[in-house]
Structure 1
């Protein structure tokens, strides 16, 4: 441990993990990444941005290995690159050394790593076999990954706008109720908004969605047990997200061998696309149940 540095424990590191994460990260990466994080935190002064840069460099090494047809080496280096990428956020939360620039660097570094590894994998196999399908594979992996990362923040933005509009509607309702039903109340409409409207927002929206999608609420006992298992282990309910997609294409398939590259990547890509379609469908239901109200400054259009 460096002189003057605090001694962190493994429990400290575990406390920095995300509340929910992908099953690949929880079961196959975090057990390694947490112990590496503990060592880095106690024995080095490396910053989160330094870890992000190291992850990107390792990603480039993985892409070069794929480009030379070294599938096993490329898969192992990609795994290490992703493990290091998981460490930067843990170090940032553990030491409080995260920066706004680090968020951008981590986001862009992930995209560069995936695109370069997809290009290296496609190039290496095309040079070896002359099969143009590998070029299509590389392009497909890059397009799917970029679509997912363009789509995710837009869906988040839509949900935030809908929630804000719903909150404004609940606040207006609470203010009207306070003015009409409780004129003698000591509480102001603003205090009613913060105490009642905000507390009910996260309850009313999910309940409305559940009423709109009754089939989704009829889970079997096995499904409920599986959900509780996921919750205990911090696992998101998605079968395949972008992380599992990357793991399938750049770790699992190369370790199995050349014959697995196309089928494994295609299956993983289809599952990822289905997951994105499902998320878009859920967002669409969300916007229908809680419609976005017009901005109060917008004047209605009058046709002449």
Structure 2
């Protein structure tokens, strides 16, 4: 019988970069639970997902009851549900027993859990306090959660399209400078069947973000100076952003060494601040006698997520300009 170790879990299931909430507050617990679960039980990833769903329902019910002990319990259950939600993927990668349908279930459950718990929290507080602000916040939170999913997906497609076209240009193929249809890059990928290195292996290109992701010990300046293991031409389509914000690269390099991605307030932090931090402030209100902090924390979460989404869009805009310049240089 295979005996998995903590080192196996870290090597085979940890992402090269992740949200800081996951890195510091989830992975240390989830990885140890994965070792015990994988070595001592035959629990499947889908069964873990079901368990996370049960905890999610418990969190929603607790939030709906609105009193401070229930709010604290709901926050703990929501966090534990997220820990299990991370465990199912780790078990699947560790034991190679995941499924396509299981990945779909995991994704859908994540959205339903957050939506249900968030609505239970805000509606429960409105019913208990009569403050209309809770009802006003609900559609704002829903909109931002949906927007960040749509924006993240489209940004990823656009970046992929730019990379594929730059690779094609480096191989000497004719490409245009439009990226309005990211799906069209599938054709370019198919034509690369002759080999990503081009005909003679000399034109292969890699991208700065890929090199830094796979080699977190490197700095961007090291890569620009050729001190990297990729052995290929490195293209950086984020030069414009780095030039405008000189400290960004230093912060990014430091964060990546701890597996933390620079997007410091992503969807994960958004969910956790709304459904864990906000209800936990009930303890602070109880001790200090101050009014509830659920509204201020939720408003902060909305503003922080919106700010980071704006930065992503601005960074993408600058990247498209770098893409146009780099494409022209390669074609010349």
TM-score (norm 1): 0.81
Aligned to 1:275: 308
1:64 to 53, 61, 65: 61
Q: Distance in 2 between matches of 1:136 and 1:219?
A: 37
**2:236 paired with 1:239:** no
Aligned to 2:238: 209
After superposition, the C-alpha distances for 1:80-104 in whole angstroms (9 at most, x for unaligned) are 0000011011111111112111221
Shift of 1:267: 0.8
Aligned to 1:25: 22
Aligned to 1:139: 139
**Structure 2: gaps of 5 or more residues:** 175-193, 209-232, 286-291, 326-332
Work out the number of aligned pairs and report it. Answer: 271
Aligned to 2:247: 219
Q: Distance in 2 between matches of 1:168 and 1:268?
A: 41
1:92-131 paired onto structure 2 within 5 Å: 92-131=92-131
Which segment drifts farther, 146-155 or 105-114?
A: 146-155
RMSD: 2.5
Shift of 1:199: 2.8
Label 1:212 to 1:63 Cα distance change in 2 as closer, same or farther (>3 A): closer
SS for the counterpart of 1:192 is coil
Shift of 1:211: 5.0
SS for the counterpart of 2:202 is helix
Q: Distance in 2 between matches of 1:51 and 1:112?
A: 16
Q: Distance in 1 between matches of 2:120 and 2:200?
A: 53
Shift of 1:10: 1.1
Contact persistence 1:67–1:123 (CA under 8 A): yes
Label 1:261 to 1:248 Cα distance change in 2 as closer, same or farther (>3 A): same
Shift of 1:53: 2.1
After superposition, the C-alpha distances for 1:201-225 in whole angstroms (9 at most, x for unaligned) are 555531x531575223x228xx73x
Aligned to 1:197: 203
Which segment drifts farther, 159-168 or 228-237?
A: 228-237
Shift of 1:285: 1.8
Label 1:227 to 1:95 Cα distance change in 2 as closer, same or farther (>3 A): same
Shift of 1:198: 2.6
Label 1:6 to 1:215 Cα distance change in 2 as closer, same or farther (>3 A): same
Is the radius of gyration larger for structure 1 or structure 2?
Answer: 1
Label 1:249 to 1:161 Cα distance change in 2 as closer, same or farther (>3 A): same
